[in-house]
Chains A and B, each alone.
Chain A
Amino acid sequence: MRIIKTLSIICFVALLTTACSDSVPNTRGVYMLMDTSGTYTKELKQAQRVINFILGTLNPGDTFAVARVDTGSFSEKDIVAKVNFDDRPSMANRQKRDFRDKIDQFVKSVKGSSHTDITGGMLQAIEYLNEAGAGHNTVLIFSDLKEDLREGYVRDIPLQLSNFSVVALNVTKLRSDNIDPREYLDRLADWQKKVESGGGQWRVVNDLERLEGILAM
């Protein structure tokens, strides 16, 4: 009788512990911006490689979204594919396959945009990832970082990037950069300043052979 009582108490405490404990988010949230403006559409194959690599790296419970950067990127319509991976590994793998198919479809049918609104895309990424509530957030920008806003668009907005890592990928040099490299360096420095002033961490990865550390927690 005493054994039954003791076992009952242990079960009750175990259930109470399970019910009351908050799950600490050790999940990752990744939002990738793909530049689809002008000649950069040629780089989308590379972007696809990066996406596949990230899909292979992410675990169940993580969040991943890919959005295009076009004339006005601060919009949910620009999100090409998004997923919150299921807790179960088998289901997560199925979701990864579906995600990959969506990206393949997009890359085949994408059309170049006339302007490049990276800041709008960043704002959308921040909003999405904050909503997802992942433990570690990363924004990947697959672009040459040359912003080209349509007239009337206001993007002089400070970015709230605390607890965010921003990684610029495949920042290609433009023809004008070759004439005056200061333009390229200034462009990178401007973005770094913008990110770090918002409380985020800034990194640049141009060699896509070294993608291993981009989602380091």
Chain B
Amino acid sequence: MAASEIFMITSSPVLSGLIWFVIIVTTLFVARTHAHMGIRSLSRVLHNAMRLTANSVMHAEKKLMQRNRDVLMAQGREASERIIEREFDRVDATVRRDLSAYPALHRLLSEEITRIDEDYKDSTEVPPTPPAWVKAVDAVAKIPSVKGDPMVGNVLEDIHHSLIKANTKATEEYRKSSHARHQLLKGMMPQWRKVKQILGQVDKNINSLLVRSVTIDRHMDEYESIVKGSDKSERMLSSSSLTQFFISGLVLAIAIGGAVINFHLIARPMSEMVGGTSQIMGFQINNIAAMVIILVEMAMGIFLMESFRITRLFPIIGALNDKTRIRMVWAFFSMLFFLACVEAGLAFMREILMEDDAAMKALLREGEASAIVGNSYLWITTAAQMGMGFILPFALMFVAIPLESFVQSMRTVLGVVGVASLRGFAWLLRLVGNISRFTGLTIIHIYDLIIFAPLWIEKQIKDKKQPEENNKEFEADKTVNIRGIAQ
């Protein structure tokens, strides 16, 4: 018995179909109220579940955003503190270097000024004192005389001569003293210059401190803005973080390129040390050994930079006391130096192996060892390889700086991506919730459309019996439907 035959109530398929249709429509009509409730409940459950989940996701998004903001601010605060600390260090260094000598400078300046003052005093012009007997002459001159008295004339003549003589002498002395004063003033010039120079130096030092203080003021403003948690500082830090992420990513990519070159430089000769056929997890052991050496070099470099307090990836190293830290610097540097020497040796070995291979191939191809022609310029490539083998480990040491920036900025970038993902997910949940709600309403309408005939008959019967009540019910149904759509 075929499955289709089960539904054949009569021999005529059309009649059977019709009977089935009537049965189904009748059943649907009878179960209409419960079916509507079921569909509505299901769609509401889905809608509410999606809405609640979306709310939870949005809540999580807000928390994540707040967390990102906190982290960003903390990073910004730390960075600002570091910058300000560095500025203060510079100010301290300037004060120590230049202004520590200020007392001595002041003493020097005072001495110079005292000396200039003394010289100045010495150089002041003292008017020559008139001879003591001038008053006596004056008295003689006032004696009433008789015209033609030769005695008075002689006395006055003598006095005149004496005065001329005294005047000549005084003039000479005055000239001598003027000359001495001029000499003193001449001697003051280098002292003036020195004072000017000292004052210029003081001015320069003070100016550099003023410039630093302006920078510190600017950084302090930024720091205060970050501490207050202003939106401006958040935007600024976020933008700075994204820039840092891409720049440090670029530098890291360059460093990876360097590491790859380094790897190729030492992978082949490593087979002379550890063999070239054994494998671990599908990788040749010589390749693994070369990779391990490079990674160890990078680790040593990172630790070295940490010990120098250039990076702060491992706070435990930075927090060590200076004596231990300096010891660690030497230990890491020694290891790095040793590894760099090993790499240079391996690079040299690589050249030897390549030459040996070339000779072997030539021998097998030509059948004669004499076919190998020695290249006199081969030492250049050998030296270059050795140099690269020695330099690259030290160059890779500086990967710690972009790595730190990358790790720090990645936290922000991942946060931004996480927030965007959560927002997108919440939007998707809301969309699905709304679709499920409207799908429920659509199903209800389709349901009613299928049983439109009995509904119409029912309405006709009710209209005849209670037209007013039916109208009210119809209005109530309409209102419910409109509300449902509005929700």
Q: Which residues of A does B touch, CB under 8 Å?
A: 3, 17-18, 21, 23-24, 26-27, 52-53, 55-56, 59-61, 87-90, 93, 96-97, 100
A125 to chain B, nearest CB (A): 22
- Verify A18–B280 contact, CB threshold 8 A: yes
Query: Which residues of chain B have C-beta atoms less than 8 A from A27's C-beta?
Result: 277
- Residue pairs across A and B with Cβ atoms less than 8 A apart, 5 shown, are A17-B280, A21-B280, A87-B271, A88-B271, A89-B272
- Verify A87–B276 contact, CB threshold 8 A: yes
Which residues of chain B in 303-356 are interfacial with respect to chain A, using CB atoms and an 8 Å cutoff? 316, 352-353, 356
Query: Which residues of chain A have C-beta atoms less than 8 A from B363's C-beta?
Result: 97, 100
Closest to A52 in B: B364
B487 to chain A, nearest CB (A): 58
Query: Which residues of chain A have C-beta atoms less than 8 A from B360's C-beta?
Result: 56, 93, 96-97
B301 to chain A, nearest CB (A): 17
Q: Which one, B316, B353, B367, contacts A90 given CB within 8 A?
A: B353
Query: Which residues of chain A have C-beta atoms less than 8 A from B278's C-beta?
Result: 23, 87
Interface of A, helix, strand, loop or mixed by DSSP: helix
Query: Which residues of chain B have C-beta atoms less than 8 A from A53's C-beta?
Result: 364
Q: Which residues of B does A touch, CB under 8 Å?
A: 268, 271-272, 275-282, 316, 352-353, 356-357, 360-361, 363-365, 367
Question: What is the bound-complex CA distance between A185 and B282, given in angstroms?
Answer: 43
- Verify A52–B271 contact, CB threshold 8 A: no
Given A89-B271, A89-B353, A100-B364, list of 13 further CB < 8 A pairs?
A: A3-B316, A23-B278, A23-B280, A26-B277, A52-B367, A55-B364, A61-B277, A89-B268, A89-B356, A89-B357, A90-B352, A90-B356, A93-B357
Q: Which one, B272, B281, B364, B367, contacts A96 given CB within 8 A?
A: B364
A84 to chain B, nearest CB (A): 10
A24 to chain B, nearest CB (A): 5
Q: Which one, B272, B276, B282, contacts A24 given CB within 8 A?
A: B282
- In the A-B complex, the 3 residue pairs with the smallest Cβ-Cβ separation, listed nearest first, are A61-B277, A87-B275, A52-B364
Query: Which residues of chain A have C-beta atoms less than 8 A from B277's C-beta?
Result: 23, 26-27, 59-61, 87
Query: Which residues of chain A have C-beta atoms less than 8 A from B271's C-beta?
Result: 60, 87-89
CB contact under 8 A between A89 and B280, given known A52-B364, A56-B364, A56-B365: no
A87 to chain B, nearest CB (A): 3
CB contact under 8 A between A90 and B279, given known A52-B365, A97-B363, A100-B363: no
Q: Which one, B279, B281, B316, B361, contacts A26 given CB within 8 A?
A: B279
Q: Which one, A3, A23, A60, A89, contacts B279 given CB within 8 A?
A: A23
Question: What is the bound-complex CA distance between A60 and B275, given in angstroms?
Answer: 8
- Verify A61–B367 contact, CB threshold 8 A: no
Query: Which residues of chain B have C-beta atoms less than 8 A from A59's C-beta?
Result: 276-277
CB contact under 8 A between A60 and B276, given known A24-B282, A90-B356, A93-B356: yes
Query: Which residues of chain B have C-beta atoms less than 8 A from A61's C-beta?
Result: 275-277
Closest to A24 in B: B279
Question: What is the bound-complex CA distance between A89 and B268, given in angstroms?
Answer: 9
Q: Which of A17, A26, A55, A87 has the most CB of B within 10 A?
A: A87
A94 to chain B, nearest CB (A): 9
- Verify A21–B276 contact, CB threshold 8 A: no
- Verify A90–B276 contact, CB threshold 8 A: no
Q: Which of B268, B282, B367 has the most CB of A within 10 A?
A: B367
Question: What is the bound-complex CA distance between A93 and B356, given in angstroms?
Answer: 8
Question: What is the bound-complex CA distance between A3 and B303, given in angstroms?
Answer: 13
Question: What is the bound-complex CA distance between A27 and B276, given in angstroms?
Answer: 11
Query: Which residues of chain A have C-beta atoms less than 8 A from B352's C-beta?
Result: 90
A115 to chain B, nearest CB (A): 32
Query: Which residues of chain A have C-beta atoms less than 8 A from B276's C-beta?
Result: 59-61, 87-89
Question: What is the bound-complex CA distance between A207 and B271, given in angstroms?
Answer: 35
Q: Which of B272, B360, B365 has the most CB of A within 10 A?
A: B360
Query: Which residues of chain B have C-beta atoms less than 8 A from A23's C-beta?
Result: 277-280
Query: Which residues of chain B have C-beta atoms less than 8 A from A55's C-beta?
Result: 364
Question: What is the bound-complex CA distance between A174 and B370, given in angstroms?
Answer: 39
